[in-house]
A and B are shown apart, each in its own frame.
Chain A
Amino acid sequence: MSTPILEMKNIVKEFPGVKALNNVSFRVATGEIHCLVGENGAGKSTLMKVLSGVYPHGEYSGDIIFEGEVQKFAGIPDSTKAGIVIIYQELALVREMTVYENIFLGHEITNGLTVDWNETVKRAGEALKKVKLDVNPALKVKDLGVGKQQLVEIAKALSRDVKLLILDEPTSALNEDDSENLLNLLRELKNHGVTCVLISHKLKEVIEIADTVTVLRDGKTICTLDAKKGEVSESILIKHMVGREIDNIYPKREHQQFGEVMLEVKNWSAYNPALGRNILKDIDFNVRKGEIVGFAGLMGSGRTELALSIFGNPDGYRINGEMFIKGQKQHFKHPQDAIEAGVAYVTEDRKSDGLILIQDVKQNITLANLQEISERGVVNTNAEVKVANEYKVSLNIKTPTVEQKVSNLSGGNQQKVSLGKWLFVSPEVLILDEPTRGIDVGAKFEIYTIMNRLVKEGMSIIMISSELSEILGMSDRVYIVSSGKIAGELPIEEATQEKIMHMATN
């Protein structure tokens, strides 16, 4: 094995009541692509925060050896100076600033006192060339798509002479094309001598790109696998991650007869005044009782907008078309109307618009249906705890108590809280937007199992997903959305990845 660029030895990091990292050792060889995998809550993010100085020296025990020297980072600036850059899932770009301003934010090129903008633009152009991003550096970041923003982040890292680039779930927000581009870029960077650590839940891309894989579980290093020796495969990774073998990540569901049409939408169009264009055009679809209908498509194809326009239209689109709930024509003016009519929407981004992170589990679970546990406007807090505990058990939410703040839970458990909140309104039609984004295999399996239970009990589910395997594994019927239109409808028996991708990209 070549010399390690980074060695983390016996790292222990404790939070009150939890040992997040328990004697973790992690070794990255110079010039490799090293993937770090593990379930949510396994300690990946914590380990990276220790490395980058978010948790400064002294708050953890153990040694960080970078380029042969023991490092004692007091904060992110120290680790950046040493050449370690982390790019998080939630991008750290200033949306209102231009691409070149962002790239040199924090290490501006100056001549004396003032910023040398000409040099900045020139060097930004060079950095963008390295990441093969062909955009005008004078554009504002907010005008770029997520995939391009990610590349800008990488360009920013490269402009700082990065030696170790760490990417936390870089592809979770990208469509398949953008993901592929990113992986190719990483390979190229590797040829230029940049060492890369990739944290990912997408095992396929891990297998595709990794030289070495380290698996964490429950705050411990389980094993380090070498791809060249053929030690890496999906089943092996899953086995190490969950500590058990999962034969099929999509639990089986007995095929059943579907009932009446619960939700039907006809000639549905929406105009977004903020963008000044039509975002949905002539959409027709329906969902029957007990059915899971998948909505496949690329990022930005309009699936989330479709869900929002149905769910009370909180963003104020101008809508044309008709909607029927159980055959009754309905018009929702506010999400409240939709909830009352039996429609629930579990949002795509649980942190920004799904949960109230500073409140606890019980308050989040009851938020959408406080009437249920109130009498004349007064909340029965005891009943609330009882309800929350019921969902804690039935959804297997891993939290010491329901008084725990949601921000302290792992991604998978946050998603379960979000789900619990919407189950508590006892909906008949449940819209799930990317229900398993950024959560681990074990939690995914649990969520799929819950979905199966719900449809068996007669609920109808609309599942929006960008993961084709999830669409194919869980749906009874698939609609493919492209550029705000329904590009096609396939019964599950006829659906294949190729067919869906073909429709989605046309």
Chain B
Amino acid sequence: MLELILLYFYTKRIGRITKVKDLNTRNYQILAVALWFGGELLGAVASALIIQWWIKGPLTNIFLYVTVYLIALVTAFVFIGFLETVLSPDAPIVKVLRQNVREYGMYIALFVIMAIFTITTRGIFISSRNIVNLVNQTGYIAVLAVGMTLVIVIRHIDLSVGFLAGFLGAIAATALVFWHLPIFVVIPLVLALGVLAGLFTAFLVAQMGIPSFVATLAGWLGFRGALLLATMGTGTIIIPDTAFNAIGNGFIPDIPESGFLPGVHKITLVLGILAMVVFIIGAIDERSKKQAYNFEVLPMDLFVLKLVFVSAIIGTITWVLAGYKGLSWTAVVVLIVTLVYHFITTQTVLGRHIYAVGGNPEAAELSGINVKKLTYVVFGSMGMLTALSGILFASRLQSATTTAGTLFELDAIAAAYVGGVSAAGGVGKVVGSIVGAFVMLSLTSGMNLMGIDISFQYVVRALVLVAAVIFDVATRNRAN
């Protein structure tokens, strides 16, 4: 059934490739079917071979058959799409790809990096355990990268976030251990302190007119001192609170084992399916709204392809996570932060104003946007996310140390640049920066697994950073 529907969509498209005008001739139909199934066969054989090589045995599991089939379908799509790209440059898929090459480039890069490490580590990289570790390690950089994205978009920088995160982590530890405050008081308190610190930076930048590089360099020094001061009495502060430590190490609870799907984290599975459903409904709703306005939408087949593709990604991630201990609390935090900030930056008036200020502050001011106020908002949010990063890190280490937060700021800035944020301001996406953070941390994780020396790791990461920015600049120039 699915085959027939897809084939129907594709007959027209194949017609464009082969430049056959009359699509109803018998020869043409044979050609279309041959091309389609040819692509599918190619995908099926290739994926079956790879999977057999990987699991070192014949295919026995129904799940694996489904995987092979899905890969075959996608290959057929890609095959036809490839032919179209080569033979017919006006095709819609080419247009879509060309317009979005910058956006998709990030995801492709992450995908390629993950694929390479999966092969070089014979699957260890993509194992549930490693992925969970990767997410938990990326968490505290990822939330910083989100805040940093907005800061860079409005043409500023924040160098103080690393030690501020360390300092606030130490405050959290002190509050838990020495002041005996409960966790539900400590977390809001630390977040509020983070906002205050951010607002103070904004005061220096917006009110006093100090360049943000200098103001936050002062913060870098000051918070480093504050961190040492906070840990002076005891050195490292060990945190015994299990609830607090779960944020960086724990997993969301599951319903008790009942024999159904043993060893699979059911709540994670349900959440994953829910996410898929919400995404699909949202996409369809968006499409029909656009159509109601008579606007151009993705062609139906590309739209379906997009739905299938994104759902497959959500499904895979869910499956990988559910196969281990489920969704970690860090992943939940990162997801929520990403969703909220993605929504704010893409859908709200506030988000528009932030990008307008970044694009041209003078024009924004004259359009009735209060640039000062917005600077406070952006640095305030940066401060809050810094506090969150500090909490995640202290919780992950189950302690506050004297060197916590060292170089976080530069990791966050690198993640933002890799994720397509423009140093000139006004351009950059929250999701891009998150992907950038995962790219950088995947490199570390993968190379660690391969046993590559740390010295080479830094060089490789440097090359990736430069390559990402070169790609960004090149595609941007071409778009103009």
Contact = CB atoms under 8 A, between A and B. Distances in A.
Most buried by A among B349, B368, B426, B427: B368
B361 to A, nearest CB: 9
Contact of A356 (B289, B351, B360): B360
B105 interface: no
Interface in B354-401: 355-356, 359-360, 362-370
A340 B348 CA distance: 20
Contacts of A368: 367-368
B480 A382 contact: no
Nearest to A315: B365
Given A356-B360, A357-B360, A378-B348, A314 B370 contact: no
Contacts of B426: 356, 358-359
B293 A382 contact: yes
A379 B368 contact: no
B363 A354 contact: yes
A224 interface: no
A199 B164 CA distance: 56
Contact of B359 (A311, A340, A357, A378): A357
Given A356-B426, A358-B427, A374-B349, A335 B367 contact: yes
Interface in B270-314: 289-290, 292-293, 295
Given A356-B359, A359-B355, A407-B480, A311 B366 contact: yes
A358 B362 CA distance: 14
Contacts of A246: none
B349 A377 contact: yes
Contact of B366 (A347, A385, A386, A405): A347
B289 to A, nearest CB: 6
B295 A382 contact: yes
B365 A335 contact: yes
Nearest to A386: B293
Nearest to A407: B480
In this complex, the interface size class of chain A, counting residues with CB under 8 Å from chain B, is 35 or more
Contacts of A421: 367
B336 interface: no
A285 B177 CA distance: 69
A334 interface: yes
B349 A370 contact: yes
Contacts of A311: 366
B359 A358 contact: yes
Contacts, number: 87
B129 interface: no
Contacts of B368: 312, 334-336, 338-340, 368
Contacts of B351: 379
Contacts of B362: 352-353
B232 interface: no
Given A379-B347, A382-B295, A408-B480, A335 B352 contact: no
B467 interface: no
Interface in B316-332: none
A405 B480 contact: yes
A378 B289 contact: no
A314 B365 contact: yes
A347 B295 CA distance: 32
Contacts of A358: 359, 426-427
B452 interface: no
Contacts of B365: 314, 335
A378 B290 CA distance: 16
Interface string A353-369: 11111110001000110
Instruction: Choose among B348, B351, B359 the residue with the greatest number of A CB atoms under 10 Å from its CB.
Output: B359
B112 interface: no
Nearest to B349: A370
Given A353-B362, A357-B360, A386-B293, A367 B367 contact: yes
Contacts of A382: 289-290, 292-293, 295
Contacts of B355: 359, 363
A184 interface: no
A432 to B, nearest CB: 14
Contact of B352 (A312, A336, A379, A385): A379
A355 B359 CA distance: 9
A26 interface: no
B472 to A, nearest CB: 14
B37 to A, nearest CB: 36
B229 interface: no
B116 interface: no
Contacts of B360: 352-353, 355-357
A355 B363 contact: yes
Nearest to A346: B366
A391 interface: no
Contacts of A363: 352, 355-356
A396 to B, nearest CB: 21
B70 to A, nearest CB: 33
Given A356-B426, A382-B295, A370 B352 contact: yes
B45 interface: no
A320 interface: no
Contacts of A191: none
A367 B293 contact: no
Interface in B128-177: none
Contacts of B427: 358
A359 B293 contact: no
A317 to B, nearest CB: 14
A345 interface: yes
Contacts of B480: 405, 407-408
A110 interface: no
Find the residue from B364, B365, B366 having the highest chain A CB count within 10 A: B366
A371 interface: yes
Given A353-B362, A357-B359, A405-B480, A379 B367 contact: no
12 contacts: A335-B365, A354-B366, A355-B360, A358-B426, A358-B427, A363-B355, A367-B363, A368-B367, A371-B349, A379-B348, A379-B349, A382-B290
Interface of B: 289-290, 292-293, 295, 347-353, 355-356, 359-360, 362-370, 426-427, 480
**Sorted from nearest, which 4 A-B pairs have the closest CB atoms?**
A353-B362, A356-B359, A336-B368, A368-B367
Given A378-B347, A378-B349, 8 more contacts: A334-B368, A352-B362, A357-B359, A358-B359, A358-B426, A367-B356, A382-B293, A408-B480
